[in-house]
A = this chain, B = another copy of it.
Protein backbone atom coordinates (compact mmCIF):
# COMPACT_ATOMS: atom_id res chain seq x y z
CA UNK A 1 0.00 0.00 0.00
CA UNK A 2 1.44 3.37 -0.98
CA UNK A 3 1.54 6.27 1.43
CA UNK A 4 -1.07 8.05 -0.65
CA UNK A 5 -3.51 5.18 -0.44
CA UNK A 6 -2.98 5.15 3.32
CA UNK A 7 -4.08 8.78 3.49
CA UNK A 8 -7.12 8.09 1.32
CA UNK A 9 -8.04 5.21 3.56
CA UNK A 10 -8.07 7.36 6.67
CA UNK A 11 -10.15 10.06 4.99
CA UNK A 12 -12.65 7.56 3.65
CA UNK A 13 -12.98 5.90 7.03
CA UNK A 14 -13.69 9.30 8.60
CA UNK A 15 -15.91 10.62 5.82
CA UNK A 16 -18.23 7.67 5.32
CA UNK A 17 -20.25 6.24 8.22
CA UNK A 18 -20.75 2.99 6.31
CA UNK A 19 -16.99 2.27 6.39
CA UNK A 20 -17.28 -0.09 9.37
CA UNK A 21 -19.99 -2.07 7.57
CA UNK A 22 -17.75 -2.83 4.59
CA UNK A 23 -15.88 -6.09 4.26
CA UNK A 24 -12.06 -5.86 4.08
CA UNK A 25 -12.31 -6.48 0.32
CA UNK A 26 -14.86 -3.71 -0.10
CA UNK A 27 -12.68 -1.31 1.89
CA UNK A 28 -9.72 -2.13 -0.34
CA UNK A 29 -11.80 -1.71 -3.46
CA UNK A 30 -13.09 1.66 -2.29
CA UNK A 31 -9.55 2.88 -1.62
CA UNK A 32 -8.19 1.59 -4.89
CA UNK A 33 -10.82 3.42 -6.92
CA UNK A 34 -10.67 6.69 -5.03
CA UNK A 35 -8.63 9.46 -6.59
CA UNK A 36 -7.93 13.04 -5.56
CA UNK A 37 -9.48 15.64 -7.86
CA UNK A 38 -9.20 19.42 -8.11
CA UNK A 39 -11.69 21.89 -9.53
CA UNK A 40 -10.82 25.48 -10.24
CA UNK A 41 -13.18 28.18 -9.09
CA UNK A 42 -16.02 28.38 -11.62
CA UNK A 43 -15.50 24.88 -13.05
CA UNK A 44 -18.50 22.73 -13.90
CA UNK A 45 -18.54 19.60 -11.73
CA UNK A 46 -21.81 18.03 -12.84
CA UNK A 47 -24.50 18.67 -15.43
CA UNK A 48 -27.44 16.70 -16.81
CA UNK A 49 -25.72 16.15 -20.14
CA UNK A 50 -22.26 15.14 -18.99
CA UNK A 51 -21.31 11.69 -17.80
CA UNK A 52 -21.56 10.90 -14.15
CA UNK A 53 -18.55 12.01 -12.05
CA UNK A 54 -19.11 9.92 -8.95
CA UNK A 55 -19.31 10.66 -5.24
CA UNK A 56 -17.16 13.54 -4.01
CA UNK A 57 -15.82 13.82 -0.48
CA UNK A 58 -14.87 17.48 -0.18
CA UNK A 59 -11.57 18.37 1.47
CA UNK A 60 -11.49 22.12 0.86
CA UNK A 61 -13.45 24.65 -1.14
CA UNK A 62 -17.12 24.97 -1.97
CA UNK A 63 -19.62 23.43 -4.39
CA UNK A 64 -22.94 24.94 -5.42
CA UNK A 65 -25.88 22.89 -6.72
CA UNK A 66 -28.49 24.68 -8.81
CA UNK A 67 -31.25 24.42 -11.36
CA UNK A 68 -30.89 26.15 -14.72
CA UNK A 69 -33.73 27.32 -16.96
CA UNK A 70 -33.66 27.32 -20.75
CA UNK A 71 -33.18 31.06 -20.74
CA UNK A 72 -30.20 30.90 -18.37
CA UNK A 73 -31.83 31.78 -15.05
CA UNK A 74 -30.42 29.75 -12.20
CA UNK A 75 -31.60 28.93 -8.69
CA UNK A 76 -29.19 27.85 -5.98
CA UNK A 77 -30.47 24.76 -4.16
CA UNK A 78 -27.69 24.19 -1.66
CA UNK A 79 -23.95 24.52 -1.03
CA UNK A 80 -21.38 22.01 0.18
CA UNK A 81 -18.16 22.70 2.08
CA UNK A 82 -15.04 20.82 3.25
CA UNK A 83 -15.83 17.56 5.04
CA UNK A 84 -19.21 17.22 3.32
CA UNK A 85 -20.17 14.67 0.70
CA UNK A 86 -21.57 15.50 -2.72
CA UNK A 87 -23.92 12.64 -3.55
CA UNK A 88 -25.92 14.00 -6.48
CA UNK A 89 -22.84 14.14 -8.71
CA UNK A 90 -23.42 10.37 -8.77
CA UNK A 91 -27.18 10.55 -9.29
CA UNK A 92 -26.79 8.26 -12.32
CA UNK A 93 -26.18 5.32 -9.98
CA UNK A 94 -29.48 5.84 -8.15
CA UNK A 95 -32.51 4.70 -10.13
CA UNK A 96 -34.81 6.65 -7.84
CA UNK A 97 -33.08 9.96 -8.56
CA UNK A 98 -33.74 11.53 -11.89
CA UNK A 99 -33.66 15.27 -12.40
CA UNK A 100 -31.61 17.96 -14.08
CA UNK A 101 -29.12 19.35 -11.62
CA UNK A 102 -26.00 21.42 -12.15
CA UNK A 103 -23.06 21.56 -9.73
CA UNK A 104 -20.21 24.09 -9.99
CA UNK A 105 -17.11 24.79 -7.93
CA UNK A 106 -17.65 28.17 -6.26
CA UNK A 107 -14.12 28.21 -4.89
CA UNK A 108 -10.99 26.28 -5.80
CA UNK A 109 -12.00 22.88 -4.52
CA UNK A 110 -10.16 19.69 -3.61
CA UNK A 111 -11.97 16.41 -3.13
CA UNK A 112 -11.68 12.67 -3.15
CA UNK A 113 -13.67 11.17 -5.99
CA UNK A 114 -15.12 7.67 -5.92
CA UNK A 115 -16.03 6.67 -9.44
CA UNK A 116 -19.71 6.11 -10.22
CA UNK A 117 -19.07 2.57 -11.44
CA UNK A 118 -17.44 1.40 -8.24
CA UNK A 119 -20.00 3.13 -6.08
CA UNK A 120 -22.79 1.47 -8.04
CA UNK A 121 -21.18 -1.91 -7.34
CA UNK A 122 -20.85 -1.18 -3.63
CA UNK A 123 -24.45 0.01 -3.48
CA UNK A 124 -25.64 -3.20 -5.10
CA UNK A 125 -23.71 -5.55 -2.85
CA UNK A 126 -23.92 -3.67 0.45
CA UNK A 127 -27.23 -2.39 1.80
CA UNK A 128 -25.45 0.00 4.20
CA UNK A 129 -23.87 1.83 1.28
CA UNK A 130 -27.24 1.92 -0.50
CA UNK A 131 -28.92 3.24 2.61
CA UNK A 132 -26.26 5.91 3.03
CA UNK A 133 -26.64 7.12 -0.55
CA UNK A 134 -30.40 7.50 -0.27
CA UNK A 135 -30.20 9.08 3.17
CA UNK A 136 -27.79 11.71 1.85
CA UNK A 137 -30.15 12.30 -1.06
CA UNK A 138 -33.03 12.80 1.37
CA UNK A 139 -30.97 15.41 3.24
CA UNK A 140 -30.38 17.34 0.05
CA UNK A 141 -34.14 17.06 -0.57
CA UNK A 142 -34.76 18.88 2.71
CA UNK A 143 -32.26 21.62 1.84
CA UNK A 144 -33.81 21.99 -1.57
CA UNK A 145 -37.36 22.21 -0.29
CA UNK A 146 -36.34 24.90 2.13
CA UNK A 147 -34.86 26.93 -0.72
CA UNK A 148 -37.91 26.35 -2.86
CA UNK A 149 -40.20 27.67 -0.19
CA UNK A 150 -38.12 30.85 0.00
CA UNK A 151 -38.19 31.26 -3.75
CA UNK A 152 -41.85 30.50 -4.22
CA UNK A 153 -43.51 32.07 -1.27
CA UNK A 154 -41.43 34.63 0.51
CA UNK A 155 -41.42 38.27 -0.29
CA UNK A 156 -38.22 39.60 -1.80
CA UNK A 157 -37.42 41.94 1.08
CA UNK A 158 -37.43 39.09 3.52
CA UNK A 159 -35.37 36.84 1.27
CA UNK A 160 -32.84 39.59 0.72
CA UNK A 161 -32.58 40.26 4.45
CA UNK A 162 -32.07 36.54 5.11
CA UNK A 163 -29.44 36.34 2.42
CA UNK A 164 -27.47 39.32 3.72
CA UNK A 165 -27.60 38.28 7.38
CA UNK A 166 -26.57 34.73 6.44
CA UNK A 167 -23.64 36.05 4.41
CA UNK A 168 -22.26 38.30 7.15
CA UNK A 169 -22.74 35.53 9.70
CA UNK A 170 -20.78 33.17 7.45
CA UNK A 171 -17.90 35.54 6.69
CA UNK A 172 -17.79 37.47 9.96
CA UNK A 173 -17.56 40.73 8.02
CA UNK A 174 -20.18 43.42 7.46
CA UNK A 175 -19.16 43.48 3.81
CA UNK A 176 -20.91 41.32 1.24
CA UNK A 177 -18.62 41.49 -1.75
CA UNK A 178 -21.09 40.42 -4.40
CA UNK A 179 -22.66 42.32 -7.28
CA UNK A 180 -26.43 42.75 -7.54
CA UNK A 181 -26.38 40.23 -10.33
CA UNK A 182 -24.60 37.64 -8.20
CA UNK A 183 -26.93 38.22 -5.25
CA UNK A 184 -29.95 37.88 -7.53
CA UNK A 185 -28.68 34.59 -8.88
CA UNK A 186 -27.98 33.19 -5.45
CA UNK A 187 -31.48 34.20 -4.42
CA UNK A 188 -33.11 32.91 -7.59
CA UNK A 189 -34.59 36.33 -8.33
CA UNK A 190 -34.39 38.76 -11.19
CA UNK A 191 -31.55 41.29 -10.94
CA UNK A 192 -33.91 44.24 -11.37
CA UNK A 193 -36.00 43.12 -8.42
CA UNK A 194 -32.97 42.67 -6.18
CA UNK A 195 -31.43 46.00 -7.27
CA UNK A 196 -34.65 47.82 -6.49
CA UNK A 197 -34.88 46.21 -3.08
CA UNK A 198 -31.21 46.95 -2.33
CA UNK A 199 -31.79 50.58 -3.25
CA UNK A 200 -34.76 50.62 -0.90
CA UNK A 201 -32.65 49.08 1.90
CA UNK A 202 -29.99 51.74 1.22
CA UNK A 203 -32.51 54.57 1.32
CA UNK A 204 -33.70 53.30 4.69
CA UNK A 205 -30.08 53.37 5.88
CA UNK A 206 -29.87 49.63 6.56
CA UNK A 207 -27.14 49.01 3.99
CA UNK A 208 -24.65 51.04 1.95
CA UNK A 209 -24.09 50.16 -1.69
CA UNK A 210 -20.69 50.40 -3.30
CA UNK A 211 -19.24 49.18 -6.55
CA UNK A 212 -19.06 45.37 -6.35
CA UNK A 213 -20.66 44.95 -2.95
CA UNK A 214 -23.02 45.77 -0.12
CA UNK A 215 -22.08 46.95 3.35
CA UNK A 216 -24.54 46.08 6.10
CA UNK A 217 -25.12 49.07 8.42
CA UNK A 218 -28.09 47.91 10.49
CA UNK A 219 -27.76 44.24 11.18
CA UNK A 220 -30.55 44.28 13.78
CA UNK A 221 -33.08 45.69 11.35
CA UNK A 222 -32.20 43.08 8.72
CA UNK A 223 -32.55 40.32 11.29
CA UNK A 224 -35.95 41.70 12.18
CA UNK A 225 -37.08 41.64 8.53
CA UNK A 226 -35.58 38.18 8.12
CA UNK A 227 -37.76 36.88 10.93
CA UNK A 228 -40.82 38.13 9.02
Contacts and interface: CB of A to CB of B under 8 A. Distances in A.
Interface of A: 67, 69-71, 73, 75, 94, 96-101, 127-128, 130-131, 134-142, 144-146, 148-149, 151-153, 155, 188
A141 B139 contact: no
A100 to B, nearest CB: 7
Chain A interface helix/strand/loop/mixed? helix
A108 B144 CA distance: 31
Contacts of A153: 67, 69-71, 73
Given A127-B131, A138-B137, A148-B148, A155 B97 contact: no
A26 B188 CA distance: 46
Contacts of A149: 67, 69, 99-100
Contacts of A151: 152
Contact of A155 (B69, B100, B146, B152): B69
Contact of A134 (B98, B134, B146): B134
